[in-house]
Chains A and B, each alone.
Chain A
Amino acid sequence: MNTELLNEISENLQHGKAKVVKELVQKAVDEGIAPDVILNEGLLSGMNIIGEKFKNNEVYVPEVLVAARAMNMGVGVLKPLLAEAGVKAKGRVCIGTVQGDLHDIGKNLVKLMFEGKGLEVIDLGTDVAPETFVQTAIEQDCQIIACSALLTTTMGVMEEVVKKAEEAGIRDKVKIMVGGAPVDEAFCKKIGADAYTPDAASAADKAVEFCLAAAG
């Protein structure tokens, strides 16, 4: 296996070189490297490094966004091959900004970090009703519901999501993660959600932990 090429993919991804990443991924495919290896040891490895650096304030939002753009270019090449090879995601998450709130920068960052960890993400967008989170989790067999809010006036909707999940009888199957500017650990506990994380990269780590636990 050409580890040098995989490292090159990872390095270029970390520098946000989307076109180069796409070319290198194609080159790796042409050299016969398995798509899941390119994904895990090239693209996701690079995104993991960016995630860690983001968590430690060594890189900032722009670096994460350009790295994610590069990753998506690379994944675009791999997607049909991964499907053909039957490679499955590590878990499935539905994510959205809660009802009444249209802010989506934080939600999008978390989504990118989730994808960077190899999770499949169903993005419900903004202004998402509690029922929609729960219905999607049931229909799409999600292990996690992730709720974001920027406003103190909308964070209360997260409690509704927890209640709806309980009413639907899925509370033991689905973990509920909460985040956003006004949200903290105390609020998470108060509403009965499963996890609050202070930043997008930590959220992705926690989500993987939940999915691995769910997979047994």
Chain B
Amino acid sequence: MTNRERAMNILHYKPADRLPAVHFGYWGQLLGEWADQGKIPRELAQDNRDGSEKERELDRLIGWDFNWYHCVGANFGLSPRFETKELEILPDGSHRILNGDGVIEKYKPGVSSIPSEDDYLLKDREAFETLYRPKMQYSPKRVDSEFFRHFNETRPQDVPVGLHLGSVMGDIRNMTSVVGMSYLLYDEDEELFADLVDTYAEMQYRCAEAVLGSGARFDFAHFWEDICFKNGPLVAPDFFDELTAKHYKKRCDLCHSYGIDIISLDCDGVTDKLLPTWFENGVNTMFPIEVGVWGDQFEAARKRFGPGMRGVGGMDKTALREDRAAVDREIERMKRLASLGGFIPCPDHRLMPGTKFELVQYYAEEIKKIRI
């Protein structure tokens, strides 16, 4: 059985010989640590992207079967992106940078944390119409037709590969920052935010349509959102539903018409309040189910939605910084969840600095011993 067959069988409640050892990539800093410790060759620590050949080489070294986040798609972001430029260096050494989404970020050399959002361009109707709407239009140039023409032959055949469907609200949050998104939601121009979501979503739908129309075939499709945090959603669930439901449905219906019936969605944080919008409109696989840091749960979702709700994730990755006993406890928990069917264990986000190489190898090895 290939890992592709294993994974897709499990998510379709069909027999599989064992669990696959699945992961969700790494913080760059961790790979640097492992290279410093002599665990991995230095070249594997650099530019190790999801689904790349380098990553697959690292998978073999560690014992992983594959990364779930191996997805390809069109260029469904702003096009062209804003030109990144440094605006100023502040007295504390921070750099203020205009990024490709039009957000002004502050970062500090030597601090590995992601930058903080300082300001943003998308503040009103005029900015939307002049700066953003032109960058949100569909064009055939967004789809690499040559790549997709040969995709079915050139893609890895032994692991699942997904079609990336983009995002409905997460990308817009990236363009405005959380504060800017909040202000836009309550702008005096009440139609503005909906216009923004609809314009962007239509372009992303057409991108997915063009990729699928090229004849490229996928094992699953995938959204990215990241619209929740420790205390739940970043926006009111009814507002979220009103703005986004039709767009999820449209893209999921498109996937169904091409025979794709597993549609996963990556959202960090506690997702329970937004699950109905996703599930009722075609998303049926939670990922990465952040149980460790945020306390998200798969069992509760399964009880609530039944077997139609699948999951990839849910393993507390912090155990991989501790010891074998902590990893064993997680493996036992994963066994129980996997026995529900439709669930593939995977660390609940990218492995972070301090993660022990040998424990990751041990986890991957033990997970593969679990029979379904």
Q: Is the beta-carbon distance between B111 and A198 smaller than 8 angstroms?
A: no
Q: At the interface, yes or no: B107 with Cβ under 8 Å from chain A?
A: yes
Give Cα distance in the complex from A102 to B117, angstroms.
9
Instruction: Tell me the nearest residue of chain B to A16, going by C-beta.
Output: B186
Instruction: Tell me the nearest residue of chain B to A151, going by C-beta.
Output: B113
Interchain CB contact (< 8 A) of B236 among A63, A65, A126: A63
Give Cα distance in the complex from A16 to B111, angstroms.
35
Interchain CB contact (< 8 A) of A102 among B108, B185, B273, B293: B108
Give Cα distance in the complex from A126 to B111, angstroms.
11
B2 contacts which chain A residues (CB < 8 A)? none
Instruction: Tell me the nearest residue of chain B to A17, going by C-beta.
Output: B186
A181 contacts which chain B residues (CB < 8 A)? 229-230, 293-294
Q: Is the beta-carbon distance between A66 and B231 smaller than 8 angstroms?
A: no
B154 contacts which chain A residues (CB < 8 A)? none
Question: Which one of B73-81, B138-146, B174-182, B248-256 is at the A interface?
Answer: B174-182
Q: Is the beta-carbon distance between A69 and B183 smaller than 8 angstroms?
A: yes
Q: With A105-B178, A152-B318, A181-B229 in contact, do A61 and B235 touch (Cβ < 8 Å)?
A: yes
Instruction: Tell me the nearest residue of chain B to A150, going by C-beta.
Output: B113
Q: Which of A142-199 contact B (CB under 8 A)?
A: 150-154, 181-182, 198-199
B113 contacts which chain A residues (CB < 8 A)? 100-103, 127, 150-151, 154
B117 contacts which chain A residues (CB < 8 A)? 104-105
Give Cα distance in the complex from A211 to B281, angstroms.
48
Instruction: Tell me the nearest residue of chain A to B185, going by C-beta.
Output: A62
Give Cα distance in the complex from A62 to B111, angstroms.
28
Contact count band on A:
20 to 34
Q: Is the beta-carbon distance between B236 and A59 smaller than 8 angstroms?
A: yes
Q: Is the beta-carbon distance between A60 and B235 smaller than 8 angstroms?
A: yes
B183 contacts which chain A residues (CB < 8 A)? 65-66, 69
Q: Chain B CB within 10 Å — which of A62, A66, A153 has the most?
A: A62
A16 contacts which chain B residues (CB < 8 A)? 186
Q: At the interface, yes or no: B72 with Cβ under 8 Å from chain A?
A: no
List the count of A-B residue pairs having beta carbons below 8 Å apart: 83
Q: At the interface, yes or no: B58 with Cβ under 8 Å from chain A?
A: no
Q: At the interface, yes or no: A57 with Cβ under 8 Å from chain B?
A: yes
Give Cα distance in the complex from A127 to B111, angstroms.
8
Give Cα distance in the complex from A16 to B353, angstroms.
41
Give Cα distance in the complex from A154 to B99, angstroms.
25
B234 contacts which chain A residues (CB < 8 A)? 60-62
One digit per residue, 1 when the CB lies within 8 angstroms of any chain A CB and 0 when it does not, for chain B 171-199 equals 00000001101110110000000000000
Q: With A61-B182, A65-B179 in contact, do A103 and B114 touch (Cβ < 8 Å)?
A: yes
Give Cα distance in the complex from A199 to B185, angstroms.
22
B307 contacts which chain A residues (CB < 8 A)? none
B186 contacts which chain A residues (CB < 8 A)? 16, 62, 66
User: How far does the Cβ of A57 sit from chain B's closest Cβ, in whole Å?
Assistant: 6
Give Cα distance in the complex from A78 to B154, angstroms.
67
Q: Is the beta-carbon distance between B182 and A62 smaller than 8 angstroms?
A: yes
B115 contacts which chain A residues (CB < 8 A)? 102
A59 contacts which chain B residues (CB < 8 A)? 236
Q: At the interface, yes or no: B341 with Cβ under 8 Å from chain A?
A: no
Q: Is the beta-carbon distance between A62 and B294 smaller than 8 angstroms?
A: no
Instruction: Tell me the nearest residue of chain A to B178, going by C-beta.
Output: A105
Give Cα distance in the complex from A60 to B111, angstroms.
30
Q: Is the beta-carbon distance between B116 and A152 smaller than 8 angstroms?
A: no
One digit per residue, 1 when the CB lies within 8 angstroms of any chain B CB and 0 when it does not, for chain A 91-111 equals 000000000111111101000
Instruction: Tell me the nearest residue of chain B to A63, going by C-beta.
Output: B236
Q: Is the beta-carbon distance between B107 and A102 smaller than 8 angstroms?
A: yes
One digit per residue, 1 when the CB lies within 8 angstroms of any chain B CB and 0 when it does not, for chain A 46-60 equals 000000000001011
Q: Is the beta-carbon distance between B293 and A152 smaller than 8 angstroms?
A: yes
Q: At the interface, yes or no: B121 with Cβ under 8 Å from chain A?
A: no
Please report A residues at the B interface, Cβ cutoff 8 Å: 16, 57, 59-63, 65-66, 69, 100-106, 108, 126-127, 150-154, 181-182, 198-199
17 contacts between A and B (CB under 8 A): A16-B186, A62-B236, A66-B186, A100-B113, A101-B113, A102-B106, A102-B111, A102-B115, A103-B116, A105-B179, A105-B229, A106-B230, A127-B113, A152-B354, A153-B112, A153-B352, A153-B353
Beyond A59-B236, A106-B230, 14 extra complex contacts between A and B, CB < 8 Å: A57-B232, A57-B273, A61-B178, A61-B229, A61-B234, A62-B182, A66-B185, A102-B116, A127-B108, A127-B111, A127-B113, A152-B318, A153-B353, A199-B230
